[in-house]
Structure 1
Amino acid sequence: MSLTDEAKKTAQAWVDENLERLTEWHTHIWQLAEPAWREYRSQQWYVERMREEGFEVEDGSAGMPTAFSATWSNGDGPTLLTYAEYDAVPGNSQAATTTEQPQDGTSRFAPGHTDPHSVLGISTLAGVLAAKHAMIEHGITGTIRYTGEPAEKMHGSKVVHGLRGYYDNVDGIVSFHPFYMLPLCNTARWDTQCGAYYSKVYTFSCDSAETWQVSSADPNSPIPASHSAARAPGANVALMQMYTSSRIMQDAMLPAAGGWSFSDAILSDGQATADNLPQRVARIQFSWRTPDIEMAEHVLAVLDRNAEHAAAMAHCELEDRWIARSRPGRTNHKMAEVLYDNLSAVGAPQYGADAVAVAQEVQRGLGLDPSEKPFLAETEQLIEPQEAERLLREHMPAWQRNWTSDDYVEMSHYAPTVRFYVSRPALQPVPGAGPYPAWVMNALGGIPATIAPTIQTTGKTIAGTFLDLFSKPELLAEAKREFDERVEAEPMPALLPADFEAPIDLPWPEYK
């Protein structure tokens, strides 16, 4: 048995021996359930944990209070990076139970971990700590970098970390996400990476309402505009003009092909006013996912024109601000091969008797007959990256190169990167019963018996991949050659300026 194989056995044993502790850590993060840019307690837990594990940690990296960057070195060698995410999704509070109910002390509108990012972070942490343990035991040298990436739902931190140099001098990056749609389950991405993602907040401010119709003001009034004066339309009117015009024009933004999407959110800092005073400020966020940058720019042009005219109509000033502007991802076949070889050696997650009992209790609560094998079959199966690619392409136009979005794409422009998926617990649909309600998958993501297999498989896979890349320099050399060739063939510079700052000061809600 080679040194690397012995080290992998050591790492795998570490994950097995610490699985209960890892699952407890996951429960803690899952229950915190903090939304984007407000993950204060989750981030602090990671900072304290990484310091206890011997890492040097920068708390609040790149000017982001809920980000961090941790580094541990065992001597000269490559630098490998993976990361944690820990933001939850508003409106999805769910207890770790087999019935629909919010977590204790919260409303159903509070955040909950839906993907769940809680297991994303704890699973990568398992891989990092297992690799570190094996490196010490077997004298394997190199450096591990582990970053905390807040606000993934807004593509928030990775573009900022990238622009600030946190991914510079990294030799390889491993990006993990719990499975969320077929065929990307227990596999690695091959050619089709995630596409472009743009997000922008438009702020309308009515700071000079008294100048709207000067001739209607009472000259004897001691205030700039009397209550009988014509009222300036104000910020709410601008927001509604922006919202309705943009939604009406959605069909004219892009062709109805290529799997693009468009969403909006109204930030809740509008000022309630009395009498005939106009609303002074209103903000709306638009986010759009497209297969490529050209398509994203078409949407941007429409929105910018709409915002300019909405502001003019409502007697407002306009300020626009980028939240995210991400490039499509870069493929790296060598990194995908190394990762998938390790995933194959570990095997797909398997759901034991305790997990099956939990799933069957969910089914009974929904009035369904419990299944002997309640979990989606694909969650306990591997699929080779090339086969997953083939199946994915069946659902896409021939011209389309990228599909859906995730902010790991920014990392892939700094170093050879692999994106891989391990199943999260999902139930097999019962014929004729329709899909399970969304709360079911959310709940299964927080129940220890059903989420532990994700942590176990992912941790072992990342540790094995790191140990291969640390021990076999020819693998990273080949990945770097491929990376350089792809960059030369298709340069794709950053879409935001180097001094771009994370929008942490905007009124992102806490959602209680």
Structure 2
Amino acid sequence: MTSPETRTAFAFVDEQQRDWSGWNHHIWSLAETAWREYRSAEWYVAKLKAEGFSVEAGSGGMPTAFSATWSNGKGPTVMAYAEYDAVPGNCQIADTYRAPRKGLSRFAGGHTDPHSALGMGAFVGALAAKAAMKKHGVTGTIRFMGEPAEKVRGSKPIHAAKGYYDGLDALISFHPFYMLPYCNTCRWDTHCGPYYAAIYEFLCERPETWLADAVKGPIPAAHTSARAPGANDAVVAMYTLSKMMRDHMLPHTGTWALNETILASGQATADNLAAQMAQILFAARTPDRAMLENIFAVLDRNAESAALATHCTVRKHWVSKSRPGLANHAMAEITYRNMELAGAPHFGEDAIETAQAIQRELKLEPMARPFIAEIEQLIPPEEAERKIRQTIPTWQTHYTSDDYTDMTWHAPAVRFYVGRATLKAPPGFAYPDWVMNALGGIPATIDPTVKVAAKTIAGTILELMMDKAALERAKAEHADRLAQAGDVKPWCDYAPPVDFPWPEYVETPRGREWWIPATEEDRRLERTSRG
């Protein structure tokens, strides 16, 4: 049975759809990447202030983070949050064909899973709960956090270490669906695992000492001289060594991943000069911390070896140390109950026509029902848990990666997922990445996700505010799980890693553009657009 308070919140979400749909598209179109989400964060801060929240911009020493609070009197404090970081290399127009957003390189940022909808679902849910609290006299406090750089599990370990989650009674984590069976459901026992990420910075600051007799003549940089290898060579050496040594980091059991990206490389010159600086980031996702320590012990050795071979020094800079997640069945039950009230998302005729247009663009026969069935179906958390456990070893307690996990040590928490438009594929066919990116920006195909998320969050906030017994069950379970786990303190012991060469948009005489300028190929894709 739906309470009057929840009916008010659900009506708010429905009535405000035109506004929040436009807001969501705006954040999607900004597509700012990790640690550089300046305009996205500014938008949220301004909106929150306009809604009567007190806001701390730049929370935790992170320029694109924020912490906001709205209170309606004494009562529980429940938190939701926005993410808004996009992914480099995924720039896509919100349409049914492949093209970058106007004036940009196709290698610019783009929302993939999409955090634009994650943030908007949570924001609208918080506003809907606030509206119901004011109308019905529900007392309590809503906290709303801005969490940048999730793609490198950036802000939440830092916020946790600086006390931003202390004193909460409960918190809610939402993500658009990205893998089955986590679609229109909540996590039950198996939560996301821990994560380490670090930048290895190689510096070649004394190239003149490479070889005693290498310099022939008064100009050390002469093309007749054997120059020092330098920082680019160090990055290549570490990259190659680390690929070679993967089999010697961990045994072949369980699910773990090691990824890397080169952030900087010696500047754009091919002169006979040693590259002075280059940086490579490694990120590891594992079921437990001991596995992370093994991986980075090998990486540290590889870095020292690469530096020695290339006449460099090396420095290691932590980007993230993020704890695994703690389950809370009581929170999952409360949230799933409100998801049932909201209902699974429904993708109507406009969404179907969009999907069929994409299929025609890809020379496929348009399907009468182009979406996978699961995105419009609820699955109980216990059933999703049963299915996921069939795919991983019995000893493995955590699976996949996200930094909401750091929050779960500070208050009872839930992690839930809402279906998003996902196309059926004919046998043997795989859709290109741009398809999902486009579907995340087209209102007809992303608004149903935002709507269900907002209603679920609003209903969950209200139930936690009003049902003291339910909240106490969640808090008691959290205390028990902390005791069993040892109440692990935040692992973050580093400064916010904001001063590294993260990809970003820049202002030039050509206007605002990605740091990699648009090319003739990008302009050709724009010129061949259909509308």
TM-score for both structures, normalised by structure 1: 0.96
Residues 268 and 509, structure 1, Cα contact 8 Å, conserved in 2: no
1:403 is paired with a residue whose SS is strand
2:166 is the counterpart of 1:168: yes
1:473 is aligned to: 468
Matches within 5 A, 1:115-264: 115-217=113-215, 228-264=224-260
2:506 is the counterpart of 1:491: no
Structure 1: distance between partners of 2:299 and 2:486: 27
2:37 is the counterpart of 1:42: no
2:13 is the counterpart of 1:18: no
1:461 is aligned to: 456
In the TM superposition, what is the alpha-carbon distance from 1:166 to its structure 2 partner?
0.6
Superposed CA RMSD in Å reads: 1.6
In the TM superposition, what is the alpha-carbon distance from 1:273 to its structure 2 partner?
4.6
Structure 2: distance between partners of 1:56 and 1:23: 24
2:397 is aligned to: 401
1:286 is paired with a residue whose SS is strand
Residues 200 and 303, structure 2, Cα contact 8 Å, conserved in 1: yes
Out of 425, 434, 444, the position equivalent to 1:449 is 444
1:482 is aligned to: 477
In the TM superposition, what is the alpha-carbon distance from 1:214 to its structure 2 partner?
3.0
Structure 2: distance between partners of 1:450 and 1:226: 59
Structure 2: distance between partners of 1:207 and 1:181: 46
In the TM superposition, what is the alpha-carbon distance from 1:226 to its structure 2 partner?
6.6
Relative to structure 1, the CA distance from residue 217 to residue 444 in structure 2 (aligned partners, 3 Å threshold; closer, same or farther) is closer
Paired positions, count = 506
2:305 is aligned to: 309
Out of 487, 499, 510, the position equivalent to 1:505 is 499
In the TM superposition, what is the alpha-carbon distance from 1:222 to its structure 2 partner?
5.3
1:282 is aligned to: 278
Relative to structure 1, the CA distance from residue 226 to residue 91 in structure 2 (aligned partners, 3 Å threshold; closer, same or farther) is closer
TM-score for both structures, normalised by structure 2: 0.93
2:144 is paired with a residue whose SS is strand
In the TM superposition, what is the alpha-carbon distance from 1:229 to its structure 2 partner?
4.7
Q: Per-residue displacement from partner, 1:21-41 (whole Å, max 9, x unpaired)?
A: 110100100111111111111
2:431 is aligned to: 436
Overall identity of the aligned pairs, in %: 55
AA matched with 2:329:
H
AA matched with 2:339:
L
Residues 272 and 279, structure 1, Cα contact 8 Å, conserved in 2: no
In the TM superposition, what is the alpha-carbon distance from 1:409 to its structure 2 partner?
0.6
2:409 is paired with a residue whose SS is coil
- 232-241 or 175-184: bigger deviation: 232-241
In the TM superposition, what is the alpha-carbon distance from 1:256 to its structure 2 partner?
2.4
Q: Per-residue displacement from partner, 1:385-411 (whole Å, max 9, x unpaired)?
A: 000000001111111111110010111
Structure 2: distance between partners of 1:52 and 1:90: 31
Residues 195 and 284, structure 2, Cα contact 8 Å, conserved in 1: yes
2:26 is the counterpart of 1:28: yes
Relative to structure 1, the CA distance from residue 228 to residue 361 in structure 2 (aligned partners, 3 Å threshold; closer, same or farther) is closer
2:361 is the counterpart of 1:355: no
In the TM superposition, what is the alpha-carbon distance from 1:501 to its structure 2 partner?
1.4
Q: Per-residue displacement from partner, 1:331-387 (whole Å, max 9, x unpaired)?
A: 011000100010011110011111111112112222222222211100000000000
Residues 12 and 460, structure 1, Cα contact 8 Å, conserved in 2: yes
Structure 2: distance between partners of 1:433 and 1:400: 32
Residues 188 and 418, structure 1, Cα contact 8 Å, conserved in 2: yes
2:102 is the counterpart of 1:104: yes
AA matched with 1:418:
V
Gapped regions of structure 2 (runs ≥ 5): 506-513, 515-531
Structure 2: distance between partners of 1:361 and 1:277: 52
